[in-house]
């Protein structure tokens, strides 16, 4: 299993995961501790992602403003956001 270590205090991360089981499955989330959150996803503790483990990080964007991180996560979960990810990431 792959473990990542991201440690930049004061940042919130918007992350996009890709399933190792099915490469067309993605998950978008936001967290202040990316390393711990990925471990939760890969250990099956997250209901929405447990069926498609293992997950790898496709992209992670660090933002200092948590409110902007949450807004960006919400955008990426929209139809336009999914198209953006598919086209650019």
Q: Model confidence over 6-64: pLDDT tens digits?
A: 667 899 999 999 999 998 999 999 999 999 999 999 999 999 999 999 999 999 999 99
Q: Total structural domains in the chain?
A: 1
Q: How confident is the model at residue 1 (pLDDT cuts 50, 70, 90)?
A: very low
Output the domain CATH number for residue 28.
3.40.1440
Using DSSP's 3-state secondary structure scheme, residue 65 falls into coil
What is the rounded (10 degree) CA torsion for 88, 18, 27, 15? -60
Q: Structural domain of residue 63, as residue ranges?
A: 12-88
d(CA 62, CA 12): 6
Whether 36 is covered by a domain: the verdict is: yes
d(CA 51, CA 15): 19
């Amino acid at each position: 299993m792959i473990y990542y270590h991201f440690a930049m205090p004061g940042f919130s991360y918007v992350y996009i995961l890709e399933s190792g089981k099915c490469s067309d499955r993605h998950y978008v989330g936001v967290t202040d501790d990316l390393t711990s959150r990925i471990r939760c996803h890969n250990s099956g503790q997250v209901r929405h992602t447990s069926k498609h483990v293992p997950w790898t990080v496709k992209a992670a964007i660090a933002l200092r403003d948590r409110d902007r991180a949450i807004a960006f996560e919400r955008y990426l979960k929209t139809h336009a956001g999914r198209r953006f990810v598919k086209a650019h990431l």
